[in-house]
Structure 1
């Protein structure tokens, strides 16, 4: 599939990047004590490395390394599935979204935005329809429209449709609304996992139904 084309520039886009830098910098300072505690808990419970790194597709499909706190044990013969590898601490970190705090560095580096479509695996790029691929016309976000409309409880088609809708309707008002809704979603712990999975099913393309169980390939 051809690389996603650049989205039409909007006046808000320049302001959005400025708000991302200021917002990420402020949040990194404010949450530094929390991240220190989480890092200690992860190191004690799961061992090292404390951080989870994975290549994801960014704006225009360009790859970058996403950084989060680890929530799972390494694969082993007796723990091949997500549910076997996800620890109680990991479940709590995911439910509270504290595992996402290190992604603020990705925002500061310009690889992500505070609000936008969630960054997904690079191998998904060739599985999108031309319309779905438009989600990569903007920077991926720490949170997004799909995350406040159901998160992993939504089908892949619905999530990707919401991603494209965000691309077409992005604005300061929309971003502020999504950020406020994200706080409510996190507090209510809604849509943390897909039905039949401890995390999310792998995206196989719109012509496929999700398998009932998948490996931890897509920690959305």
Structure 2
């Protein structure tokens, strides 16, 4: 059975490329890792890394790493305060520059994630997906993806899923590098960091579970 060029890249070349590029990036950016970690420890406290379970390829759960960008401030009842209160000026800087995402390179190195793919979302969203939306888990989740270079958190959930599923059906070497270059542009311009109603993106509450073509 013949395999298309895109299929060869997806099956045999994408993972080695992810490993090599993430390893090189970690080596080159190591001084920045240390500086950001020290500042997070000083300004936001411990732990420096934020770890959260996310679904990956075939909905397999893994621990995703990010630099912490919020405090642990709580109300008198011991409940965490709203995100917009706990997100400090330094935390906003980390998010706007995407420096908080640097530890995700470790996830790529481990094989949990890819450089490019649908962003890993929350585990509690899994039961809410339609069969169409579940297709986003047919590939490894990415540090950046097609949805991120087409609006990031400033677009609707429906648009995000459309881009995510579109990506799973057209994975290619050229396509990945286009997204990488567009991601660098987006990071430099600091575009699409927040939605209009939340500090990042409003929670996904599910949609009518119909098939989309």
Normalising by structure 1, we get a TM-score of 0.88
**1:56 — aligned with what?**
54
Comparing 172-181 and 198-207, the one that deviates more: 198-207
> Runs of 5+ in structure 2 lacking a partner?
1-5, 209-213
Corresponding residue number in structure 2 for 1:33 = 31
CA RMSD of aligned residues (A): 1.4
1:95-125 CA-to-partner distances (Å, cap 9, x unmatched) read 0000000010000100000000000111111
How far off its partner does 1:200 sit? 1.1
Q: Which residue of 2 aligns with 1:70?
A: 68
TM-score (norm. length: structure 2): 0.91
Distance in 1 between residues matched to 2:124 and 2:175, nearest whole Å:
29
Equivalent of residue 7 in structure 2, options 2, 6, 10: 10
Gaps of 5+ in 1: 1-8, 208-220
1-side partners of 2:21 and 2:8: how far apart? 19
Aligned pairs, how many? 200
**Is the radius of gyration larger for structure 1 or structure 2?**
2
1:111 aligns with 2:112: yes
User: 1:75 and 1:201 mapped to 2: Cα distance?
Assistant: 21
Tell me, yes or no, if the aligned pair for 1:82 and 1:199 is still in contact at 8 Å: no
Distance 2:196 2:169 in 1: 29
Structure-to-structure mapping, 1:71-150, within 5 angstroms: 71-77=69-75, 80-150=81-151
Aligned to 1:157: 158
Matching residue of 1:22: 20
Q: Which residue of 1 aligns with 2:184?
A: 183
Moved over 6 A (4+): none
